[in-house]
Amino acid sequence: SMVEGVQHGDVDGIAFVGYHTGAGTEGVLAHTYLPNSITGVWVNDVRASEGLLNSHVVAEYGVPVVLVTGDDLTCEDALGYAPEALKVAVKDHVSRYTAVCRTPARTAADIRAAAKAAAALAVRQEPLVGGPFTVALEFDAEHLSMAATVVPGVRRVGERKVVYTSDTMYEGIRTFKAVTTIVSAAVEEQYG
- One digit per residue, the tens of pLDDT, for the chain of length 192 reads 799 889 998 999 999 999 999 999 999 999 999 988 999 999 999 999 999 999 999 999 999 999 999 999 999 999 999 999 999 999 999 999 999 999 999 999 999 999 999 999 999 999 997 889 999 999 999 999 999 999 999 999 999 999 999 999 999 999 999 999 999 988 756 655
Separation between Cα atoms, residue 92 and residue 109, nearest integer Å? 17
- Predicted local confidence at residue 182, as pLDDT: 95
Rounded-to-integer distance, Cα 167 and Cα 141, Å: 28
C-alpha gyration radius of the chain: 17
pLDDT at site 190: 60
pLDDT at 18: 96
**What burial letters (b/e) apply to 150-180, b meaning 16+ CB within 10 Å?**
ebeebeeeeebbbbbbbebbbbbbebbebbb
In this structure, the number of other CB atoms found within 10 A of the CB of residue 46 comes to: 10
- Sign, CA dihedral 108-62-6-30, equals negative
Give the model's pLDDT for residue 189. Answer: 63
Amino acid at 145: S
Q: Give CATH for domain 6-185.
A: 3.30.1360.130
So what's the pLDDT on residue 186?
A: 87
- For the chain, domain boundaries: 6-185
- What pLDDT sits at residue 129? 79
End-to-end CA distance of the chain: 28
Cβ-contact 165, 132 below 8 angstroms: yes
Q: What is the pLDDT of residue 59?
A: 97
Residue 62 near residue 126 (C-beta atoms within 8 A): yes
Q: Which residues of 84-102 are buried (b: 16+ CB within 10 A; e: fewer)?
A: ebbbbbbbebeeeeebeeb
pTM listed for this prediction? 0.93
Sequence-separated contacts (24+) of 144-152 with Cβ below 8 Å: 144/37, 144/183, 144/186, 144/187, 147/182, 147/183, 147/185, 147/186, 147/191, 148/179, 148/182, 148/183, 150/182, 151/175, 151/178, 151/179, 151/182
